[in-house]
Amino acid sequence: MEIKFGNRTIGLNHPTYFIADIAANHDGDLERAKLLIRLAKEAGADAAKFQNFDAPKIVSDYGFTHMNAQVSHQATWKKSVTEVYRAASIPFEWSLTLTEECQEVGIDYFSSPYDFTAIDFLDQYVPVYKAGSGEIDWIEALERMAGKGKPFFVATGASTIGEVQKAVHAILKINRQLVLMQCNTNYTASPDNYDHLHINVLKTYATLFPDVILGLSDHTHALAPVLGAVTLGARVIERHFTDSHDREGPDHKFAMNPETWAKMVEETRLLERALGSSDKFVAENEKDTSVVQRRCLRAARDLKA
């Protein structure tokens, strides 16, 4: 299974594709968004991703304040949920500028849409659609994105296998270019989160959905989850990206910076080389040592002809 768009090919026998999710880390500044695109490219990312949504349509201050306490990473926010989400989304007016910036530096432009208006608007800008985990049970939105005929990346955080199966079956009826991404939607950067990544789910996806490409959408810092996912067959990796963990904003704390991102890509490229072939044979660089190491017969005395 391979997916092609532009000059990219994604598949098991191709290099891992890295998405730098800038998300809210532009901090409401277009020039800063452009800077992060350039930094992501320099660090080895293949795509820079943003988000398009209308905050009042996807979050409710009333809902959060009447849940006894805010949950997960939102508990640390000083502003209301609506205010934070409104600042995190990018205006539609930025799309052309960001697309052109990505084209100039040689990186793909992605943006996740969170309503039908954004889905339709982004069709003129993005080579790929990426659905966040929150859309896994919104079949109508998944079908709308799949119907655009472009490669479709879908994160599956906070979902059951039944929900994933329903979504995948709906998508594959329309579009066979699917990347299915294991994900954990805890954004606290807690070390405890490693216990909940369940990267082995990729094995389940490979068995249940042999005609999709696997991926990992992750919100931790360590290299191990990425290397483990690639070993299990993931060929798309998405992580958040920033230039500093010290900045204010909802996504900076758990994002990777240019140095750690570059290290992640470097180690993954080494892993890809090391994984090599599934065929067992004498490798070219061990042919000489096989002669030295193996047992042989040697005559202890002259033998008659």
In order, the DSSP letters of 186-237 are --S--GGGGGG--TTHHHHHHHH-TTSEEEEEE----SHHHHHHHHTTEEEE
Non-local CB neighbours of 165 within 8 Å, separated by 6+ positions: 208
Provide the Cα torsion 198, 202, 208, 212; round to 10°.
140
Q: Assign residue 203 a region: left if phi > 0, alpha if psi is -120 to 50, beta otherwise?
A: alpha
Question: How confident is the model at residue 297, as a pLDDT?
Answer: 86
Terminus-to-terminus CA distance in the chain, angstroms? 60
Residue 62 sits at the vertex; the CA angle it makes with 81 and 139, to the nearest 5 degrees, is 75
Question: How confident is the model at residue 296, as a pLDDT?
Answer: 84
In this structure, the strands spanning 108-113 and 129-131 are unpaired
Joined together, the tokens standing for residue 239 give: 């992580």
CA distances from 205 to 3, 56, 232 (A): 17, 34, 11
Question: How confident is the model at residue 118, as a pLDDT?
Answer: 97
How many Cβ atoms from other residues are within 10 Å of residue 171's Cβ? 23
Non-local CB neighbours of 91 within 8 Å, separated by 6+ positions: none
Q: Specify the DSSP class assigned to residue 129.
A: E
List beta partners, residue 214: 180, 234
Q: Is 182 helix (H, G, I), strand (E, B) or coil?
A: strand
Joined together, the tokens standing for residue 91 give: 């205006």
Q: How far is the C-alpha of 103 from the C-alpha of 81, rounded, in Å?
A: 33
CA distances from 109 to 34, 104, 202 (A): 11, 11, 26
Would you write out the chain's pLDDT as a tens digit for each of its 305 residues? 999 999 999 999 999 999 999 999 999 999 999 999 999 999 999 999 999 987 766 665 655 565 555 455 555 655 666 666 776 678 999 999 999 999 999 999 999 999 999 999 999 999 999 999 999 999 999 999 999 999 999 999 999 999 999 999 999 999 999 999 999 999 988 999 999 999 999 999 999 999 999 999 999 999 999 999 999 999 999 999 999 998 888 888 899 999 999 999 999 999 999 999 999 999 999 888 887 888 888 889 998 87
CA distances from 300 to 291, 295, 297, 303 (A): 20, 15, 9, 9
**Which among 47, 70, 45, 72 is positioned nearest to 60, based on CA atoms?**
70
- Could you give the domains of the chain? 2-54+89-278 (3.20.20.70)
Whether pTM > 0.85 for this model: the answer is: yes
